[in-house]
Amino acid sequence: MLTCDDYLVPETLDAALRLLDEQAGKARIVAGCTDLLPWAREGRAGDVHVPVLIDISKIGELQARHVEAGRVRLGAATPFQRFLDDPPMMTALPMMPRCAVWFADDQIREAATLGGNLVNASPAGDGFPPMLVANAEIELARWEEGKVARRSLPIADFMQGPGRTAIAPNEIMTTIVCDALEGYGASFEKVGHRRSLVISVACLCAAVKLDAQGRFADVRLAIGGVGPVPQRMRDIEDALHGQLPEEARLETAAQLGAAYVRSRSREAYRRAVVPGFVVQALLTAVKRAGASARPRETELAHA
């Protein structure tokens, strides 16, 4: 059982940060709460008591979102469902609708937040590959000397290992700032132990832009679930940049993907899956970027 003495619901960021500062060492921040009980069950032994839960889901700043000057600002408490019903977000982040569909069912998507997914720092967290592809930066805030102090860092530096992030005990993630990828073809692929509502054994995001000759003008790939932290697949990106998206070239580049597998379990399975995953993600992204559809049998081979 999970219990708490106080459940506080501040309506401004200032108020939330002051509470977190006052309750140092006793409080836990929550938003959608979809991972709260699974967290409390860790170890499966005895009850879990948190003196103070601070619910930040009512803070308007943390749910604001807009696109400006080629960058997207996402409040950390943005629910995953917004990537399926907010047209500007769906256009600016074309990989996120597919990610949201894979993420969970309707009820969970309406509550679960992108910031919460990132703060949990699961190696299999679905939010990491898309945000890595979008060159995201994480904005953090804390209460210091009577006012809000802020800092930001690249998402690649935010997660430091399974369950570990760069966030300090007195900080709250406020915003994710990332590239707007309008005009890119994008995809999100995921495989797990069952067909639906699945925790990733591997997940991969691709975003591509083609030039007038149909060559890769920009290629972005990121993978999660196969090692201690999600990663950009820079060597595959470099191998494909400026090239035509021909099947043989995709197949060759995708073989580099197996080297990213550093999992402690099902390593052989992941090494077998990842190259095909890369090809499938790229085929889908290229098609959505406006290139001619690839042969159906190729898609089926890598599905």
pLDDT value for 102:
83
> Does one domain contain both 34 and 87?
no
**Of 125, 102, 127, 110, residue with least CA distance to 34:** 110
pLDDT band with cut points at 50, 70 and 90 for residue 34: low
Q: In this structure, are residues 274 and 258 in contact, taking their beta carbons and an 8 Å threshold?
A: yes
Instruction: Decide: residue 264, CB within 10 A, 0-12 exposed, 13-18 middle, 19+ buried.
Output: exposed
> Does one domain contain both 158 and 259?
no
> Does one domain contain both 123 and 64?
yes
pLDDT band with cut points at 50, 70 and 90 for residue 30: confident
One-letter amino acid for residue 20 of the chain: L
**Of 191, 199, 207, residue with least CA distance to 276:** 191
What length does the chain have?
303
DSSP assignment of 77-131 equals T-BTTHHHH-HHHHHH-TTHHHHHHHH--HHHHHH-BHHHHHHHT-TT-TTHHHH
> Does one domain contain both 76 and 171?
yes
> Does one domain contain both 253 and 150?
no
Per the structure, the count of domains in the chain is 3
Angle between the N-to-C axes of helices 247-254 and 267-288, in degrees from 0 to 180, rounded to the nearest 10: 150
Task: Map residue 38 onto helix, strand or coil.
Answer: helix
Mean predicted confidence (pLDDT) in 140-155: 95
Domain of residue 146 covers: 60-179
> Does one domain contain both 77 and 109?
yes
Percent of the chain with pLDDT over 70: 87
The CATH number assigned to the domain holding 15 equals 3.30.43.10
Task: Quickly count: other Cβ atoms within 10 Å of residue 239's Cβ.
Answer: 19
Q: Check residues 47 and 235 and name the one with the higher pLDDT.
A: 235
Taking the C-alpha atoms of residue 204 and residue 223, their distance in angstroms, rounded to an integer, is 4
The pLDDT tens digits of the residues spanning 250-261 come to 999 999 999 999
> Does one domain contain both 232 and 129?
no
> Does one domain contain both 213 and 283?
yes
pLDDT value for 297:
39
Phi, psi of 168 (to 5 degrees): -80, 160
- The mean of the pLDDT values for the chain is 88
> Does one domain contain both 74 and 171?
yes
pLDDT band with cut points at 50, 70 and 90 for residue 43: low
The pLDDT tens digits of the residues spanning 263-302 come to 767 888 889 889 999 999 999 999 999 875 444 334 444 4
Does residue 23 surpass a pLDDT of 60? yes
> Does one domain contain both 84 and 170?
yes
The CATH number assigned to the domain holding 227 equals 3.30.390.50
The pLDDT tens digits of the residues spanning 176-228 come to 999 999 999 999 998 865 555 566 778 999 999 999 999 999 999 999 999 99
